[in-house]
Amino acid sequence: MGRNLTGTEAFLRSVHPYDALAAEEFSGIYRAFLPLDVAAGEAIYGLGDELPGLFLIVTGEIEVTDANGVQVSALGPRNSFGERGLLREGRAVTAARALSDAQLLVLPKDTFHTLVRNNRAFARYFDRARPSRSGTRDLAEMRLRDLMAPNPLSCSADTSVQRAAQAMREAHVSSIAVTEGRRLQGILTVRDLASRIVAQGLPSETPVADVMTRNPVSLSPEDLGSDVLQLMLERRIGHVPVTEGGDLRGIITQTDLTRHQAISSAVVISDIAQASSVEALVPFTKLIPQVLAQLVAAGKPHDVITRLITDIGDAVTRRLLKLGEDALGAPPVSYLWLACGSQGRREQTGVSDQDNCLILSDDVAEVDMAYFHALAKFVSDGLDACGYFYCPGDMMATNPRWCQPVRVWRRYFEGWIATPDSEAQMLASVMFDLRPIAGDTALFDGLQDDTLAKASRNSIFVSHMVANSLGHQPPLSLLRGFATIRSGEHKNTIDLKHNGVVPVVDLGRLYALQGRLTHANTRARLLEAKAKGVISATGAKDLIDAYDLIATTRLEHQAHQIKHGDAPDNYMAPSSLSDFERGHLRDAFVVVRTMQSAIGHGKGALG
């Protein structure tokens, strides 16, 4: 490919992030690119090679493979590669070769690094580091799009005040927007009904247009919480419409602001601790989606959000145990209630079933078992009533198999380690995430340490755990895209749980096994694995950054659903993301697949 500056300029103007560069900066960049032609089958660089710069594909297809020769990407026109190595020591962390004749552009590494240093947007595009927005924001700093109630109640101007009042009552709101199509014309509040209708004795058939506040002051979704606070204080109003280009987008009330300030995980937990019955607990657990959405909007890190959400689940469990003991009497012997799964790892989100078990003192007699079966049923039924649904796999203390004395639990673990069949692998994976919730923790201490020691020494068991962990693969297609679900209710989406966070959870569990690490939380496991040398510093940084992005994307997806009145789930359409977001999410999945490949080839994460 000859050096055609005009053609290079036109091509780069169609590629992000170059299309977003300022004119002067762009002029210098497109002149810096060097052309490179490669033939089908030709190696572009190998693992560990010094990289000349960032590669950009103009035509053709390029294969990128990891240290084990496993393909992690098949890239086409407008895709870049080589940035991971450039952002490290300048040496390739993958290998690349041409699958077909290809024309490339190479941005010299010095120019690339200058751009990374001087252009924040450019640096952010090529760096997968944990989002910097993860700091705490108070209400005054939050955007109204994160505070407003979307899809507010509305009516036309010719609606009668009686019908408008009935609609407000049915929707349990204190105002109704008056619109023509989506255009905001006015607003009617409960206070208006009292002062302008009832006080003046107007008939119930009076049109809303006669008494509404016309052309009310409004704010945009991008305005801040401080703007709405100031407006409400200055104008002495309690309702502020949120509009965009004159179209109604939402509404914010004083109640919304008060609720945002008042509802927190700490407040919910305090209320839970005082609940006198299962029925009294239910209203508090119904606040969990709102707490989650609020924490996401405040920019909290994903591991902080899931920890706070899990704290609520722990509090509910402890309260139910106390209520159960009050109803059944004191337990005949000591016991320990433990959580496994996402609650055990402190990684609960807006979608959680229950996974739990009971460890009993070896002093338990057969006659005592009726008490613990009744206690387990009381707690599990209560959790289900509170929105923590029964485990589809029956991994609950109500299953007699998971309500046993210490000696039986010790026998379980020894058997799973000695005979690691498929069921043993599944059960061991769940049980390695056990965390005490309430009761006598001494019943678990020795069991956990002994099990980790025996499991880590059994190479056959570890090999089976490795194979089992590779059952969940990131949703990557061969081309630079996502492998979405092809049919059914969730067609054209990706599962951010089973194909997103679970592959990293599995890796974290393996590192914990190899290093005999006692943390149950995935991010804490990765950090401890790095500190103990189980995983290399560079491998840990890449994997933690990838996990942060995937887990944050999952929570943002759920928060978006909650804000729009939908039940949260884990199925996200990639089309809902920007090109920038899709590119980075896919890069995160590539990192996870690379780490899976490394551990699958017996190299751990040290390569």
The Cα 461–Cα 514 span in angstroms is 11
- Mean pLDDT in the chain? 88
**pLDDT at position 197:** 92
What's the pLDDT score for residue 169? 93
**Which residues does the chain have with pLDDT short of 70?**
1-6, 127-141, 258-264, 478-480, 602-607
Residues 440, 359: Cα–Cα separation, whole Å: 9
8 Å CB contact between 294 and 305: no
Q: What is the pLDDT of residues 504-555, one digit of tens each?
A: 999 999 999 888 888 889 999 999 999 899 998 888 999 999 999 999 999 9
Token duo for residue 217:
């002051």
What pLDDT does 133 receive?
A: 46
DSSP 403-446: EEEHHHHHHHHHHHHHS--HHHHHHHHHHTT-EEEEE-THHHHH
| Among candidate residues 154, 183, 182, the one with its CA nearest the CA of residue 167 | 154
Q: Residues in the chain, how many?
A: 607
The reported pLDDT for the residue numbered 233 is 78
| pLDDT at residue 360, as a whole number | 97
* Dihedral sign of CA atoms 349, 352, 355, 356 in order: positive
pLDDT for res 605: 43
Report residue 88 as tokens.
């490290």
Residue 130: the pLDDT is 44
Report the C-alpha dihedral over residues 548, 350, 357, 400, rounded to 10 degrees.
-130
The predicted pLDDT at position 285 comes to 92
What are the residues facing 55 on neighbouring strands? 81, 106
In this predicted structure, what is the pLDDT of residue 67? 77
Q: How far apart are CA 63 and CA 75, in angstroms?
A: 6
pLDDT at residue 606 in the model? 36
- Which pLDDT score, from 0 to 100, does residue 13 have? 82
Q: For 516-536, where are the alpha helices, taking DSSP H only?
A: 522-531
| Closest to 518 in 3D by CA, of 444, 579, 570 | 444
Give the residue among 164, 148, 175 at the shortest CA–CA distance from 209: 164
Phi, psi of 605 (to 5 degrees): -125, 25
pLDDT at 538: 87
From the list 83, 101, 102, 80, the residue with the least C-alpha distance to 92 is: 83
